[in-house]
Structure 1
């Protein structure tokens, strides 16, 4: 009996996965060429509300934590010194502003959160706080902020500003967050009186004016938005460099990372938990969400056929142009048979590692790397039946340290419909996924075990 009880306890204590849908507010997301796919957006227009409402309801039906909206502020212009191939092959282009669809998504759902990517590079913290707090109110507390500082030359060119060095950007980012925290905390919980008889709405003594004078920012103001349901949005980060991982360990409530193998996932998990200790945060207090792309079907052979069709949509030049933009190198000037292991990049270091280790350390040429990256940023691609995909996810949870998965889109909305209808029930059957939401805010659901 004792042995049976121990088995039962092990089953009950299984880690349950968190799921997020990884998308952009554009015609194409993170699988280059998907707009060409015969099943992509059939009957849907990405620039209209109905598409986003359907996507949101699909993810909520699958009990996802959130829809996570990535962003890029301008077409990449690194490849050949021009953005022509980006425009030509719809490489994350056109892309619309991400926060504009938050109310559309959250009014169509009751529980689904929205993670919105917003750059600190070209917006003052005062207006950032005002926008995010307003969105948190309108969503009933279901907003997350993916904090980025703009890594792409094209973004700085678009805003007419000289690009700062990465180290300097993190110094600015730390002060940026300091101002945001001051503004979010400037209202006391009981500041609003709303006494109609006296005419007093709020007690000025409980709505403090901050007076920040720093190296990068000045701000003398009270926050113009009263405290939102979450107080502040859930803070999300994708720190990958050494400095970026420190920033994530200090500030983030959840971290998104791309690692192609379970070994790399475990290395990242252990490293982040060590860094959490440095900032006096307990191990496991930050959710680690790893990227994954799935291709599911009733049989393995059917899934493989679907996967080959997805790969066939990728334009080679578009793949190279995207990789050039992300990594800050003009790969049009390289021998495509050169190994990426011999190259240093100024761009997103963590994502470049996803290419370096795409084949468990075996050499990868630039030509091969571009096609791997264009499938989904070097994420592991899980191809097979619902059982096959759940098997692999369990390995990532138990051996890699994952708390959940950022599911990169292929053709939409079909890829999310298929996952919700096929893989989610299999994960639930194994007690690896929730059967209901824990609360009403995104933070409550994200913290759910």
Structure 2
């Protein structure tokens, strides 16, 4: 058994139904309270008590309307429709915690890097260095149509835009203001000689001026990525510090982690610096029998149609027009190709039908559903760490806040007894959770580091 620490992130979206479909109907669920600030403050306190590294907040920018060609099923089941802005509750959660990080999903396709860099620097200021960015390129056609495009950009073009977006953001975060630009002495606040225009003139963006913000603690937020298509893996290998995975078997996850780490090494990065987090849903109780009974109770509320609506939108494939009992075949789409690959090509031992997919993701959302006593759950989490080559888990919360609270109260103490989860935080920033105390800035082998201010060579 490896002696490495298991890293924990909690997974939420500001919506009613996210990884689970229909479970908001369960009498214990508080998912409908996603609009209440107290709901988010309680979540942050639970996760910090459980010594989680961060809360990861997912997002979607358009209604889910691929299934049956309309939004009806998503609305009936509350599947990511409606959904609120993930950024706005973060500073409030930071005010009631001291160490918990916040990784937030924001799309590079629909932001302007100049304004976005300021948003993230502001959050890094307000959280005292606890902010991370999950870089997505957005797969929903509905988002494109409502945000100024006639249709979604092709898959690989979205990543080309994202590459230039990253370069502009890195220039603003790392290179515009020197470390000692803020003087705050006498009659000078900032030394103009130490604040520099970034002068970016590219294919998609023109940003000639200086960053409008002074540097934050981390400068560049911790960079996450979740795409597992070939182009997504290449992007993760270049940029990601944390990589989110959706797989349901450790050997499938191992294929992804080995591939992305090899790509990172080719790109000149230390492959061990990338931390992989697999989505997992944990149903835990004092005994295995009680946990299985709890799962059976939850499964009574699963909506098959809601699951089909969510995955149709993710894959850009209307599952309502397919035979529900005929195995799904892989086709190139402009959706999240890694999600389509999950149920078509990554597992050669199983053929998934639309009906089977919907039933499987009803509680677990595309990852393993781990059920049992604290010891049983801890054994399975350790097996995944050892066999999958991952560093931790993105723990879902299908019955909020019950499943987070159960994990914190039952599983975390067992993992702490085994020395697999820390008993207290080390360092105060999110990046220190990744790389150790004192490491608040990107590592020298990260691409953002090349944009740090250097004196021009004469």
TM-score when normalising by structure 1: 0.94
More deviation in 311-320 or 57-66?
311-320
Instruction: For residue 250 of structure 1, give the secondary structure of its aligned residue in structure 2.
Output: helix
Quick one: which of 118, 138, 155 aligns to 1:166? 155
Q: CA deviation at 1:344?
A: 5.4
Instruction: For residue 281 of structure 2, give the secondary structure of its aligned residue in structure 1.
Output: strand
Q: Which runs of 5+ in 1 are unaligned?
A: 1-9
Aligned position for 1:37:
26
Are the structure 2 counterparts of residues 343 and 174 from structure 1 closer, same or farther at C-alpha, using a change threshold of 3 Å? closer
Aligned position for 1:429:
417
Q: Considering only aligned residues, what root-mean-square deviation do their CA atoms show, in Å?
A: 1.7
Instruction: For residue 33 of structure 2, give the secondary structure of its aligned residue in structure 1.
Output: coil
CA contact (8 A) 2:19 2:361 kept: no
Quick one: which of 283, 307, 320 aligns to 2:308? 320
Aligned position for 2:272:
284
Are the structure 2 counterparts of residues 342 and 271 from structure 1 closer, same or farther at C-alpha, using a change threshold of 3 Å? closer
Instruction: For residue 234 of structure 2, give the secondary structure of its aligned residue in structure 1.
Output: helix
CA contact (8 A) 2:17 2:77 kept: no
CA contact (8 A) 1:91 1:318 kept: yes
Aligned position for 1:85:
73
Are the structure 2 counterparts of residues 358 and 172 from structure 1 closer, same or farther at C-alpha, using a change threshold of 3 Å? closer
Q: CA deviation at 1:426?
A: 0.6
- Residues 1:236 and 2:236 are matched in the alignment: no
- Residues 1:126 and 2:117 are matched in the alignment: no
Q: 1:183-262, aligned counterparts within 5 Å? A: 183-185=172-174, 186-196=176-186, 199-262=187-250
Q: Which runs of 5+ in 2 are unaligned?
A: 438-458
Q: Deviations over 1:149-199 (max 9, x none)?
A: 111111112213032111111111111111001111211110011123xx1
More deviation in 350-359 or 48-57?
350-359
Distance in 2 separating the partners of 1:297 and 1:360: 34
Aligned position for 1:149:
137
- Residues 1:179 and 2:168 are matched in the alignment: yes
Q: CA deviation at 1:345?
A: 4.6
Q: CA deviation at 1:358?
A: 8.9
Are the structure 2 counterparts of residues 128 and 76 from structure 1 closer, same or farther at C-alpha, using a change threshold of 3 Å? same
Instruction: For residue 35 of structure 2, give the secondary structure of its aligned residue in structure 1.
Output: coil
Quick one: which of 22, 27, 30 aligns to 2:16? 27
- Residues 1:53 and 2:41 are matched in the alignment: yes
Q: CA deviation at 1:343?
A: 5.5
Aligned position for 2:343:
355
The number of equivalent residue pairs is 435
CA contact (8 A) 2:243 2:274 kept: yes
Aligned position for 1:377:
365
Distance in 2 separating the partners of 1:448 and 1:203: 32
Instruction: For residue 317 of structure 1, give the secondary structure of its aligned residue in structure 2.
Output: helix
Q: Deviations over 1:24-66 (max 9, x none)?
A: 0122321111210111019x83211111111100000000001
Deviation >3 Å, runs of 4+: 341-346, 356-360
Distance in 2 separating the partners of 1:88 and 1:268: 35
Instruction: For residue 272 of structure 2, give the secondary structure of its aligned residue in structure 1.
Output: coil
TM-score when normalising by structure 2: 0.92
Q: Deviations over 1:244-266 (max 9, x none)?
A: 10111101111111111111111
Q: Deviations over 1:289-342 (max 9, x none)?
A: 111110001121211121122222122221111111110011111111110246
Aligned position for 1:419:
407
Aligned position for 2:355:
367
Distance in 1 separating the partners of 2:306 and 2:289: 28
Q: Deviations over 1:118-165 (max 9, x none)?
A: 011111100110100000000111000000111111111221303211
Distance in 1 separating the partners of 2:346 and 2:80: 22
CA contact (8 A) 2:64 2:80 kept: no
